[in-house]
Structure 1
Amino acid sequence: MTINEECTVVEDRIDPDRWPDVARVPRSPIRGAAAGRLFAAALRKVPVTVEFADGPGGAPSHAGAPAARMLIRNPQALYRRLGSTGLIGFGEAFMAQDWTTDDLVGVLTPLAERMAELVPAPLQRLRPLVLPGHPADERNSIDNTRSNIARHYDLSNDLFAAFLDETLSYSSAYFGSDDAAAEATWSDLAPAQRAKIDRLLDLAAVGPGTRLLEIGTGWGELCVRAAERGAQVRSLTLSSRQRELARARVAAAGLGDRVQIDLLDYRLADGEYDAVVSVEMLEAVGREFWPEYFQTVERVLAPGGRAAIQVITMPHARMLASAGTYTWVHKYIFPGGQLPSIEAIREVVGERTGLQVTDELAMGRHYARTLRLWRERFEGRTEQIDGLGFDAVFRRMWTFYLAYSEAGFGAGYLDVYQLRLDKP
């Protein structure tokens, strides 16, 4: 669908009970007017063409030859949302179709590249005073974490199966090189997911007889591959639906005697293990609990044991600047999460544990391609996703989430690391 065709689409009815803040436009004309001026100034810094459904006017576009166009269908609604809730409102405006585009990643990538400079520094310091804060019930305490996890991972196993490859791996694949990642197609994704898992298992020296603790089960692919190596695996998850399917996959592989999957918070793990592996789980822990996470890894590792951790990171300066900020991703996708920087991880590990970081691999380009393949698959499965009971607003929300994430990795604003940590 072209951007002009999108302009003529009949509006979907937005269920106000399901999507209250998408259905409702804030009544904040003063904030909206101020946000409109800031938005216009920000767009002068990025290579995006802005068009208005009702003709010219409003925010000017960047001078030059932009690669993507943004169609603003309801500028006053967009500006009022921005003025009331910042980037939360920007995402909600897309969900409400106040703005649209035929190249969402193309619009979001230059914004991600210039994230630190789009809003003047004095106004950035006012963020905590004018924008919403984190809800208290999303703090990642033992009491809250399971509900935070359930809001995302318990949506529907069939939903995730609709856009993930056969391994059901919901984390960055590893294609071997950045060049290979850039050229990867859907048929390359499952082998690259297995390569990612195998590299982590190799980092942790998992083999016959290894006692392995996995923190964050996913849908069980790592359990299966570790057990096939001869390891004895205990895996922890807080998602009941993931646990159910992971157990079924383990049983189907004939490995039930080597794998135990428990519905348990990582902080309550007991026992001693030769290896710990955790894939993109640290992001859901919350900043105040990072020390406890790594201390738990240290506590359960036997002397001489290894941990292999895959984790999404953001630049350290932006991590500090955005600390405490409640974002669109928190509200709609991952409640309670916080991306660390690689510097913060090194600091926590070095100052709060006796673990040693002995290997690092950055592979952000691999995640950009992984996300592109997921997004293309998701966008091509509209009928299947609708059949699961998800509405058009949900689909726009997830399209925005996948594109937003792809843009972050493509711009280098986000990265993903595989780390090896040794216990002396």
Structure 2
Amino acid sequence: MTVPPTVEDLLRELAPQVLGALLRRHGGAFDSCEDAVQEALLAAALQWPAEGVPENPRGWLVTVANRRLVDLVRSERARRDREDRVLLATPQSALLAPAADADTAGDDSLALLFLCCHPALSRPSRVALTLRAVGGLTTAQIAAAFLVPEATMAQRISRAKQAVRESGARLRMPTPAERDERLGEVLRVLYLVFNEGYTASGGEELTAPDLSAEAIRLTRLLLRLAPDETEAAGLLALMLLTEARRLARTGPADELVPLTDQDRSRWDAALIAEGTQLLARTLPSGRVGPYQVQAAIAAVHDEAADVAATDWPQILVLYDLLTRLDPGPMVSLNRTVALAEVAGPEAALAELDALAADRRLTRHHRLLATRAHLLERLGRPEEAAEAYSEAARRTTSAPEQRHLRDKAMLLGARGTARGGRH
């Protein structure tokens, strides 16, 4: 079945709104409501391209989904426990009433996003449920993006729905205190989705563009529904400024191209402009958070005409601020790269040695790759080659493995040639 892009985009936008409307009407029967919504979306995908989009597409979907839910409750006699939950939670008159009036309610997408990031769920479950319920991705798509079997992802999503149900959570906007507490996790989930799309943690492909695109779409939605959330704006700016470099990250043979070697003419100027403008509107608010600082770092990189023009002292200052706002091993590791540009590789290597004591980093391939880079700059090719080789063994990303092995081979050959001259 081929669905026109305009219809597909509309259905993806409306899916969380329709699910939110059913959850609000029928309580916490997440499974039943989502099944009904999926059937309504399928019906729309079949009918709308041929018959045209209805005047009130959201109301059409809510009405059809509501009818499907009634059918599901009545027909699933083998799953009486689910039927009892829905029927006891919702008066029969409500089930049978026309649902078009739900279209006059507000957009529940933000409430649904907070529900999918409920504290009762583990972080992987929050990611999976957000992509499924709010993003509208199929279980197969999510499984493929995270390199796990579809059955495994289906179980994870099912357990997440069960955890939401058992927690007694209902679709509602959290209280101000709950919102402040859980907004950070909502942003973290979107950040993780984007990062996995921009640099896949494993597999043959360097990136998973659909995941990054979905993270950007959901962050735009969050910011549209909560325009005063400065960290949501900072996260969107960070995503845009980072996504702008995607095309330049691979070469003609799909090889990985480091930031310093990228053809900057291939960077997306429109995304850079949007990201920097968003950041310029956000920073003066005075409420600076970690995502805004990361976006500022990305902006310094993106605005430099070439590597030599990069304002490394400013980047180092921003990393110092980020270390205070959001301390962590990866922040410290990235800071050593900026330190090497400002104070030299010797100073950075000494700091890296201290970081190696952190058990979270000791065996991480990025620490080894950074060490290799610093050793290479210090003119120690044999040690650098060994570190690159070890980093290649530690990563599960095939493109990164190839890049690191190529670096090791090149430096190994250089070291052998230099030894022969002596």
Common topology (TM > 0.5) = no
Q: TM bucket by the smaller chain?
A: under 0.3
State TM-score, norm by structure 2: 0.23
Between structures 1 and 2, the one with greater helix share: 2
Between structures 1 and 2, the one with greater strand share: 1
Larger radius of gyration: 2
State TM-score, norm by structure 1: 0.23
